[in-house]
Amino acid sequence: MLRPLCGWIALAALWAGGAVAAQPMELTEAEQAALAACFQIEDDAAVPACIEDLQLPLPPEGRELLAMASDTGLQAAHERWQQGFDAAMLDHAQTLAARGDARSLLAAALIVPIRHDEATEQPLPDTVDPAAWFDTARAVRPADPLVAWLETTGCMVPRLTCDANAAIARLLQVDGDNAAVQWRAINAALDGGDEIAARTHLRLAAQAGRFQPYAGDLLTLLLESHNAAPLPPMDADTARVVGLIHRLDRPATNADVVAMLSAAQWAAAALPAMAGVMQLCDPDGRDHDPKLRQDCIAFLAKVAADESMVTFPAIALPRLVELTHGPQRAAWQSQLRDHTWIIEQYASSLAGGADADFPYRVAADGELEAIRHQMQDSGIPIQPPADWLPRNPRTRALVTTGRAPAG
């Protein structure tokens, strides 16, 4: 599940440019190149020694992590805990799969630990087959929309062959009034070169009663499934290392690991591509007829209003600014400015590390509301100062002029 101890400690401590430290490292170009070379070493155990030889100006946190990465006792403690963690997840995945319903089979396929060959990084044959669990789950009728949704967004399960078009057909049957489902159908139609079908699905997305991209359902499933496993206690050494790596300002717990693991899987799987809709709703790419523009605005307004993932408004709002005029454009510009402020300030709110409750707030209330809560806890205002403008030149231009800069 996790990179070997010495390697992921060094990566967390140093490759992010001192992200774990209160003050990031300031390295010359030559030092950055030398540091990059250390991380190309295949032997994880040799990475800390390589970094130590560089004599870089490490912050105290980095120095402590580097010492931990060379401590064989810590490595052994972590390995013992990791083996116990994986064994508990494997047992619980088998228990879930034995229930036989689609949602339990899906959960089993998502949480089972997958061992990889260190040389090829390919999944190793094991005593369980998560691909078979997923295959059984997608054969259940009526179709489980979350199973079908995950199949449309890419194969997360090793050795599984996904059929996105078949999954979209199942989604349209069981959840056709969901604009997010129509959005997947838009992309599939454009991928197949059928613009008439794409246009039909865009009209249906504009008319749909809701936009529900299953993000909350997926994260809830991951959190509940991981938490239900009877995990072994985390020893003090492993707790100290994991807590320092993730900037928790305290020793970590199994709850922290479950939260971080679930959030990482969720982020990798929850967001499908928006390219198809952006292509269809490109204000400069073609001569738009009024109905097409109207459908684009109606659909993208639903996407912008969804708070389950911070990315949805971030993608939809700039295009809404470009597609509208007058007071309507001004309203979207204001929303884009407010949303960009939240995105830019979010990293600052994590200076002390996100706590284990964060993914649960995301699952319950959406990622945007969870970020607002985190910002408030850190003393960061939710609304931007009156004179604030986004850092990104394109976003700043859209906020101030309503037009993206040339080129």
Quickly state the pLDDT bin for 282 (edges 50, 70, 90).
confident
3-class secondary-structure state, position 176: coil
The pLDDT of residue 137 is 95
Residue 1: the pLDDT is 43
Domain coordinates in residue numbering, the chain: 5-70, 82-232+244-272, 307-401
Q: What is the 3-state secondary structure (H, E, C) of 38-101?
A: HCCCCCHHHHHHHHHHHCCCCCHHHHHHHHHHCCHHHHHHHHHHHHHHHHHHHHHHHHHHHHCC
pLDDT value of residue 8: 54
- Select, from the ranges 31-40, 64-73, 189-198, 340-349, the one with the highest average predicted confidence (pLDDT): 189-198
Rounded distance, CA 109 to CA 246, Å? 27
Tens digit of each residue's pLDDT (9 = 90 or more) over 131-175: 899 999 999 999 999 999 999 887 777 677 888 899 999 999 999
The mean pLDDT value for 292-317 works out to 95
Q: What is the mean pLDDT of the chain?
A: 85
Which one of 61-70, 122-131, 309-318 scores highest in mean pLDDT?
309-318
Q: What is the pTM of this model?
A: 0.84
Q: Are 148 and 167 in contact (CB under 8 A)?
A: yes
Region of poorest pLDDT, from 2-6, 237-241, 373-377: 2-6
Contact (Cβ atoms closer than 8 angstroms) between residue 184 and residue 218:
no
Residue 119 has pLDDT above 90, yes or no: no
Handedness of CA 241, 246, 251, 254 (dihedral sign): negative
Q: Which pLDDT band, with edges at 50, 70 and 90, does 346 fall under?
A: confident
Query: What confidence score (pLDDT) does residue 162 get?
Result: 82
Looking at residues 282-305, what average pLDDT do you find? Answer: 87
Better-predicted residue by pLDDT, 284 or 119: 284
Largest CA distance in the chain: 68
The per-residue pLDDT for 21 is 45
Between 19-28, 88-97, 186-195, 324-333, the lowest mean confidence (pLDDT) is in 19-28
Residue 140: which of 178, 181, 104, 90 has the closest Cα?
A: 104
